[in-house]
Chain A
């Protein structure tokens, strides 16, 4: 199917009508997620990895670690670098080439949720103050895009980080022995950051849209939170929202966070 053959206007009308009654085509409620499947340890060469499927959307996350110098303004802290790639194989809409805005935004919004929540204890990643710290590379790849890559990717990042193990580091030779993992895990906080994006279609907000629904999104708000605290926010696309709608979204996200967390808890051990 060519890219243009998506979400015709008349389907949009139906989706909006149905939403007014609080219903969606696949029988979900507006705040309901599709089925979530998580597999960790799917990559031999990564220090941590996860494959997450949310409905037909599939993403792959890999954690790689390396030792290097800290940034001058944070001599005692390790580093996090989050990169997202929208692979051409995951959708007819993506082309090979340098990352365009959607991939860049995806990486940056995910970065914010992970970084600002202080999920990773960067101070514990310091090996020698001012000289040697661990850098954690979090690489996200889309494998099939059927909407809501962001929320799915966040789940993948958390699962991958939780199950990752730190590789051996030979201090004398200043070499990381890739492939030789210690039993040490990445120092993580107990509060789990999740990104949940609410999309406005007509007068209603929905969570976890399929591609068909995502195409109708007039504006979206991604809330990164740990349940207790909100650590990141991003409003995307054009339509403005009322202040009370923002509060509605925050309530919706709070409720959804609890539901999602219950579903994915067992994968985060």
Chain B
């Protein structure tokens, strides 16, 4: 690893951007939260457990988790035409897979828990911010959960591993280019979501996962604090 590597915004290699988290931001929802990492802002709202329609979609063994991720049109510099995209459909599913392992869904057969995530502002790491916000919203909605889920993106810029890429770093062009690894895990290190695109050796990937573990622990502390402060 190149110790002299300087990040564009001056952060240390393992430094996460400034995080802001707040719970209960949408009065109508059963649970809601805002999670901000640097300039990326995600809000999530949970409605449920509630009756599932249509009836034939109901699962008699447990509640169905439905996640819906979308970026608003002006979350990015180049306006996004309203409506779902293949990317948002994939991220919606990834989010479900990231959260479901910790939810105790068999308490609610035939019901549905809807999680709506909107990205208000994007500066990379949007799916991670969405998962972090959703995790808080689910807890606030009183959904029984074995643990919270924390999510972060590890990047490799040419040969240097860094924590929490921003957009400028995602667009990195030199050397081996950027590699982006979003990971979600529980506070005791169980991975519920991992994706990768780029070019990386096995050893580097192992290191990246270690860095993610440490970063997720920090994110977990912020999430816990947001929940505890909401009661004041």
Find out whether A and B make contact in their complex, taking CB atoms under 8 A apart as touching: yes
Most chain A CB atoms below 10 A, which of B28, B68, B117: B28
Quick one: given A89-B32, A90-B28, are A45 and B114 in contact (CB under 8 Å)? no
CA distance A92 to B113 in the complex (A): 12
Check A137 against B79 for contact (C-beta < 8 Å): yes
Check A139 against B29 for contact (C-beta < 8 Å): no
Interface membership of B83, Cβ < 8 A: yes
Q: How many A-B residue pairs have CB under 8 A?
A: 82
Check A45 against B77 for contact (C-beta < 8 Å): yes
Binds B, one of A118-126, A143-151, A186-194: A143-151
B residues within 8 A CB of A87? 116, 118
Interface membership of B44, Cβ < 8 A: yes
CA distance A19 to B29 in the complex (A): 29
Check A92 against B28 for contact (C-beta < 8 Å): yes
CA distance A103 to B83 in the complex (A): 13
Quick one: given A139-B72, A139-B74, A144-B27, are A66 and B79 in contact (CB under 8 Å)? yes
| CB-CB contacts below 8 Å: A47-99 with B | 49, 56, 58, 60, 62-64, 66, 83, 85, 87-92, 96, 98-99
CA distance A145 to B83 in the complex (A): 20
Interface membership of B45, Cβ < 8 A: yes
Check A60 against B120 for contact (C-beta < 8 Å): yes
CA distance A109 to B109 in the complex (A): 42
CA distance A96 to B28 in the complex (A): 16
CA distance A139 to B118 in the complex (A): 14
B residues within 8 A CB of A8? none
CA distance A64 to B120 in the complex (A): 14
Check B121 against A178 for contact (C-beta < 8 Å): no
A residues within 8 A CB of B122? 45
Check A178 against B77 for contact (C-beta < 8 Å): yes
| CB-CB contacts below 8 Å: A168-186 with B | 178-179
Check A96 against B39 for contact (C-beta < 8 Å): no
Interface membership of chain B positions 74-96, coded 1 if the CB is closer than 8 angstroms to chain A and 0 otherwise: 11111100111000000000000
Q: Which residue numbers of A lie inside 8 Å of B, CB to CB?
A: 2, 43-46, 49, 56, 58, 60, 62-64, 66, 83, 85, 87-92, 96, 98-99, 137, 139, 141, 143-146, 178-179
CA distance A98 to B122 in the complex (A): 23
Taking the nearest CB of chain B, how far is it from the CB of A11, in angstroms?
Answer: 18
Taking the nearest CB of chain A, how far is it from the CB of B143, in angstroms?
Answer: 16
Q: Which residue numbers of B lie inside 8 Å of A, CB to CB?
A: 26-29, 32, 39, 43-45, 47, 50-51, 68, 70, 72-79, 82-84, 114, 116-118, 120-123
CA distance A44 to B121 in the complex (A): 7
Which secondary structure dominates chain B's binding surface? Answer: mixed
Check B68 against A143 for contact (C-beta < 8 Å): no
- 6 A-B residue pairs with Cβ-Cβ distance under 8 Å, sorted by A, are A2-B50, A44-B123, A46-B74, A62-B73, A88-B45, A96-B84
CA distance A89 to B70 in the complex (A): 11
Taking the nearest CB of chain A, how far is it from the CB of B69, in angstroms?
Answer: 10
Check B26 against A141 for contact (C-beta < 8 Å): no
Taking the nearest CB of chain A, how far is it from the CB of B47, in angstroms?
Answer: 5
B residues within 8 A CB of A43? 74-75, 120-121
Taking the nearest CB of chain B, how far is it from the CB of A136, in angstroms?
Answer: 11
Check B78 against A62 for contact (C-beta < 8 Å): no
Partner of A89, one of B74, B79, B83, B116: B116
Query: Lowest 8 CB-CB distances: which A-B pairs, in order?
Result: A62-B74, A89-B45, A178-B77, A46-B74, A89-B116, A64-B79, A139-B73, A88-B116
